[in-house]
Amino acid sequence: MADKYHDTVAKSNVTTDDAAVKNAVEKILADNLAAERTDKNLRLLFSCIDLTTLKSTDSPASVARFTERVNDFENEHGDLPSVAAICVYPNFAQVVRTVLEVSEVEIAAVAGGFPSAQTFPEVKVAETALAVEGGADEIDVVMNLGNFFDGDWEEVCDELEEMKHSCRDSRLKVILETGALKTAENIRNASILAMYSGADFIKTSTGKEYPGASLEAAYTMCQCIKEYHKATGRKVGFKAAGGIVTAEEALGYYCIVKNVLGEEWLTNEYFRIGASRLANNLLSEILGEETKFF
């Protein structure tokens, strides 16, 4: 089906060979992982965390307590960086906005029918707008995978563009759900569509229904970001999410980003990790003792 969406994707030179991607990732880790395990890098990774609570049992009170821990962290560990953001359901953005006292921590909210993206486009747009109105600086939405697999890429992009418009000045992070996409070709195609639809970040996974982040998906996504930046001059961020628990796992993503995109992406403006358990594990490594702060 020839249209501008398929034509744009067809021009990409990013590899879709899954074996080549796997080999490239293995080489990057073999060459870099051990050397990159430094205190400085562990602190950087901590500063790139989107500290996340997305549970059915979340409530205004529990989210307020969750946010208070971030306030407490700055008071008790002022020598360490804060996390990048607190990520919550859209109805709790206002709670975080009210409780949060740490100015450098952003407020992120999932929206757009998260985690399935299966609702009316009008609802997705309204939910995005309401989250922004409630105080969200960043909105994490899921690409419409049903339309993607049907080849209706115009509909995929129209939805994303409308949600981007309703973000106003807030940033849009588009979740590709790479565990459902599976192949390097699908991940490449989805990455390109998301970026050309205005995504400020592309993100691997929801961590809900499908397998979470993988280093192979990260490699392909970062290659797409690099190619897109070269073509347009616009820098798009990368977010890994779903099942990243240990410092070692987080360092793998650091190595991919550094080797594919370079040092300028190694800041929480362009690199994020969505996690809930990772924060304590990184803190334990940094502080040299088991720490369960969050």
Select which of 124, 173, 239, 258 is catalytic.
239
Is residue 265 a contact partner of residue 28, using CB atoms and an 8 Å limit? Answer: no
Q: How far apart, in Å, are the Cα atoms of 244 and each of 45, 51, 140, 250?
A: 12, 12, 18, 6
Helix axis angle, 39-47 to 247-260, nearest 10°: 90
Rounded to whole angstroms, how far apart are CA atoms 236 and 222?
9
Is residue 108 a contact partner of residue 142, using CB atoms and an 8 Å limit? Answer: no
Look up residue 263 and give its DSSP letter. Answer: G
Compute CA 1 distance to the chain's CA centroid, rounded to the nearest angstrom: 30
Helix axis angle, 215-232 to 247-260, nearest 10°: 30
Clarify whether 226 is annotated catalytic. no
Rounded to whole angstroms, how far apart are CA atoms 172 and 156?
15
Select which of 50, 124, 137, 140 is catalytic.
140
Rounded to whole angstroms, how far apart are CA atoms 106 and 201?
14
Is residue 160 a contact partner of residue 154, using CB atoms and an 8 Å limit? Answer: no
Q: How far apart, in Å, are the Cα atoms of 243 and each of 28, 76, 261, 291?
A: 21, 28, 23, 19
Tokens of residue 99, six digits? 């409780």
Clarify whether 239 is annotated catalytic. yes
Clarify whether 124 is annotated catalytic. no
Rounded to whole angstroms, how far apart are CA atoms 294 and 276?
8
Catalytic residues: 140, 203, 239
